[in-house]
């Protein structure tokens, strides 16, 4: 912990830049989505204050350990590749509509259901998830069929990881920003709820 905390600014930047390079480097993305996200992540990495609190030091150490964890790097790379592949299949208008529909329907709908304590495998949970799914399809003018239902579950399972939320939490603590603007996404638990509730009943 002491060694990591004593790293100078250049050393800290090198560790975090290496993480970004390993996650996004070499991904073919003609639309530049991965490049833009990599740049956003790089700019979001916090500087450890000159006189950090004990909590900030602990968060910094946890952040360094996380971005050097091979499993997390591989998982982040998987998400980056999946996102680039999805983006390549959509026009600019379709991509923006997809992002807007997620932010306006999937994320808040899942968040409300999770916060309300509705079990995802209950009858009420499945009805609520179906309503969310159908609203999403209607907004995007897509058929509410099994194909699109499976696509949502696949996307949620691929792009949702508890460690991503932890990453942004640590960024906020180190940079003394309780709500890092780069996070902007839903919590892991609510997305997990939606994935489980949309799966076919056994």
- The pLDDT tens digits of the residues spanning 99-144 come to 999 999 999 999 999 999 999 999 999 999 999 999 999 999 999 9
User: What is this structure's pTM?
Assistant: 0.82
pLDDT confidence of 181, banded at 50, 70, 90? very low
Give the long-range contacts of residues 5-13, CB within 8 A, separation 24 or more: 5/48, 5/52, 5/57, 5/60, 5/61, 9/47, 9/48, 12/47, 12/48, 12/60, 12/64, 13/45
Domain count, the chain: 1
Range of the domain at 23: 2-198
């Amino acid at each position: 912990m002491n060694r990591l905390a004593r790293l100078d600014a250049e050393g800290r930047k090198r560790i975090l830049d290496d993480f970004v390079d390993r996650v996004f480097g070499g991904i073919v993305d003609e639309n530049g989505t991965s490049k833009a996200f990599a740049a956003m992540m790089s700019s979001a990495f916090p500087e450890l204050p000159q006189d950090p609190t004990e909590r900030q030091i602990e968060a910094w150490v946890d952040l360094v350990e996380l971005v050097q964890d091979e499993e997390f790097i591989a998982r982040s790379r998987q998400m980056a590749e999946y996102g680039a592949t999805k983006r390549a299949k959509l026009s600019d208008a379709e991509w923006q509509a997809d992002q807007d529909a997620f932010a306006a329907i999937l994320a808040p709908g899942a968040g409300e259901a999770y916060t309300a304590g509705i079990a995802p495998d209950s009858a009420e949970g499945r009805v609520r998830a179906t309503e969310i799914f159908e609203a999403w399809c209607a907004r995007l003018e897509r058929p509410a069929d099994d194909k699109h239902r499976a696509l949502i579950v696949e996307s949620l399972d691929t792009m949702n990881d508890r460690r991503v939320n932890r990453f942004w939490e640590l960024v906020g603590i180190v940079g003394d920003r309780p709500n890092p603007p780069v996070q902007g996404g839903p919590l892991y638990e609510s997305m997990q709820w939606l994935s489980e509730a949309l799966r076919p009943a056994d």
